[in-house]
Amino acid sequence: MRLLLLFLLLTICTSGFAQQSAPTNLRTRISDDEQNRSIQIDGRQNGRRIHFDQTFAVTGMSSLRKEVLTYRAFDSVGIAPPLNEMRWLIVTGLGLLTMGIALLMVGFHRVKTAQINPVKSLRSE
C-alpha cells in the first residue's frame, strides 16, 4: 500500500514538473473592499493579447466563494490564476486530498487487522 501511495505521489509530482510553462507577460491586479472585487488582467500569453477588467459585487459572499469567482474570471480568459491569489481554494483542495489519503490508509489498516487470525496473536504473547 505504501508503495502504491509513493508511486501515486511521484507520478503527480513528475507530471507537474513536466508541464512547460508558456512564455507569459501578464499583469494581474485583484482588489477587494468587501463590497466589490475588481479583477484586472492585461498582457500577452502565447502571442495572444489578453485584456480583462471586471468588477463584481461580493457583498455577503464567503471568502471561498470569492476565490471561486476569481478562478472563474481567470478561467474565462483561458489562463490559470496565480497561486498567491487562490489561497483558500488551494488550502481546501489540499485538505480534502489529505483527508482522502488518511481515510484510505486507515481503511487499509483496518481491513488488514480484521483479517489477522487472533489465535496466532495469542500464541506469540
pLDDT > 70: percent of the chain: 84
Q: Which amino acid is at 82?
A: P
Q: Does residue 83 lie within any of the structural domains?
A: yes
pLDDT of residue 23: 53
Quickly list H helices, the chain: 2-18, 63-76, 87-114, 118-124
Q: Print the domain residue range for 67.
A: 24-117
- Give 22's DSSP letter: P
Q: Does residue 110 lie within any of the structural domains?
A: yes
How many domains does one find in the chain? 1
Q: Does residue 46 lie within any of the structural domains?
A: yes
Q: Which amino acid is at 31?
A: S
Q: How far apart are the first and last CA of the chain?
A: 27
In the predicted structure, residue 99 carries a pLDDT above the cut 80: yes
Lowest mean pLDDT among 25-39, 57-71, 110-124: 110-124
Q: Does residue 3 lie within any of the structural domains?
A: no
Give per-residue pLDDT as tens, 11-43. 776 665 555 455 568 888 889 898 999 999 998
Q: Does residue 12 lie within any of the structural domains?
A: no
